[in-house]
Structure 1
């Protein structure tokens, strides 16, 4: 079987949304490096129109473009190769591992068993780590939590394991919804988490939450912020990430009238914002 290997130049902060687009086009397996994505597709499924579509996608990102493409004659499980790059790791109070890892859970750590399957939220990205490190100081017993742009479901699962009563997770991508459902079953929290495909319009059917988590890029946060705000009760806690340090001023401007800023941790160029809602 002949595969086409593509090497794409794209900055780290833009890789996850591009991977989602390529996955929908039939690409099978992704390797992320600094400013590069390496991916594969069966050659018979890749035509001129697909190349043009990728060119159009890359035009939306700064400095995005092809480095090279080459034909590979092989019959391999590219997803399996990608999975082998996902290793167990400790993030704050949590120990995150895929099901294929044989590593033992360190003492006093909370196990999050996550098989990412191309979804955002493996725990490797700075934005996910920032929120996971904040969660023990955010979640209290019996909280109702909303997880916007859930990815793999990792934040909802972590919230339940910290004592939250229930979580509602949503995402616009079908592959993310499927992956989240698989991961909540792996962690034995399927009775505590509801999952729905859609954007913030799905919140209209939910009660107001004690906690809203949103690990999404800046423009989307600003676009759906009024719905997130309406979904959070007075005194509730808001945690936002998916944000670069340069995004801080615009997000703080959206929060300034109704929220008290609690913390703004940083890792490399990424930040999270923890805030408390002060008005109803």
Structure 2
């Protein structure tokens, strides 16, 4: 079988979002590089209309994303190649590893066993590390949580293993729902995490929670803020990432007057923001 290999120029901060959209278009494999994505799809599956759709997707992102090159290549085992790039790693109090890793878990670490679909929520990205490290500092135990845009479910799983009471994880992507359910089973926390397909409408009738966490992307986070406010208890907390340092000023303005920022965590150009609800 022949495949089309597309090299797509796009800034690092938008790659995971674009990959999710390409995944829904039946692309089979991805490689993330600095400022570009390499995406693979069967030759029969990519038509002229699909190329136009990709151009439209790229046009929705800031900057000058474009298809840099296209070539026909022979079929490969994309998953095997990709899995070779996913390694076990320590992140704060956690040890994150896929099931195929033979790495030993350090005695002082909490195991998060995550088999991700493609490149989402592996812990390799700065924003995931920031969220995991912040959760370990902020959770006291017994909290109820909403995990918006859950991806692989890694943050919900981490929260439960830190002592949170229960979590509701939602995502708009079906692959994410499937993968999250797989991962919560791997980690033995399926009784503590509810997984739902959809966006913020799935939390409309849910009892207010202690913490909402969202590691998504600035514009998506801003679009969800109005729905987060009633979903949080009085003095409930927000933990947000998928954000660049350059997003902070705008985020501060959008959070007023409903939230007070308590802490900003940094890694390279990425940030996570911890805020408290100050209005009813």
| TM-score of Structure 1 vs Structure 2, range by shorter chain | over 0.9
Q: Deviations over 1:132-162 (max 9, x none)?
A: 1100122122111110111110000000000
1:131·1:241 contact (CA, 8 Å) conserved in 2? yes
Find the counterpart in structure 2 of residue 83 from structure 1.
83
Question: Unpaired segments of 5 or more residues in structure 1?
Answer: none
Separation in 2 of the partners of 1:9 and 1:40?
A: 14
Shift of 1:119: 5.7
What's the CA shift for 1:260? 2.8
- Counterpart in the other structure of 1:120: 120
Secondary structure at 1:167's aligned position in 2? strand
- Report the 3-state secondary structure (helix = DSSP H, G, I; strand = E; otherwise coil) of the residue aligned with 2:204: helix
TM-score (norm 1): 0.96
1:64-122 residue CA offsets vs partner (Å, 9 max, x unmatched): 11221111123x22122112211111111111111111101112111101111126211
* 5-14 vs 115-124, which moves further: 115-124
How far is the alpha carbon of 1:63 from its aligned partner? 1.6
Cα drift, residue 43 of structure 1? 1.0
Please name the residue that 1:145 is paired with: 145
Total equivalences in the alignment: 279
Question: What secondary structure does 2:28 align onto?
Answer: coil
Q: Does structure 1 conserve the Cα–Cα contact (< 8 Å) formed by 2:5 and 2:41?
A: yes
Asked if structure 2 preserves the Cα contact closer than 8 Å seen for 1:29 and 1:81, the reply is no
RMSD, aligned α-carbons: 1.3
Query: What secondary structure, in the 3-state scheme, does the structure 1 residue paired with 2:229 have?
Result: helix
Task: Please report the TM-score for the alignment, with normalisation by the length of structure 2.
Answer: 0.96
Cα deviation code 1:29-61 (max 9, x no counterpart): 111010111121111222222122212222233
Q: Which residue of 2 aligns with 1:268?
A: 268
Deviation of 1:218 after TM superposition, in Å, equals 1.3
Instruction: Deviation per CA, 1:182-239: give whole Å up to 9, x if none.
Output: 1101100000000001111111221111111011211111111011111111122211
Q: Compare 76-85 and 102-111 and name the one that shifted more.
A: 76-85
Q: Which residue of 2 aligns with 1:242?
A: 242
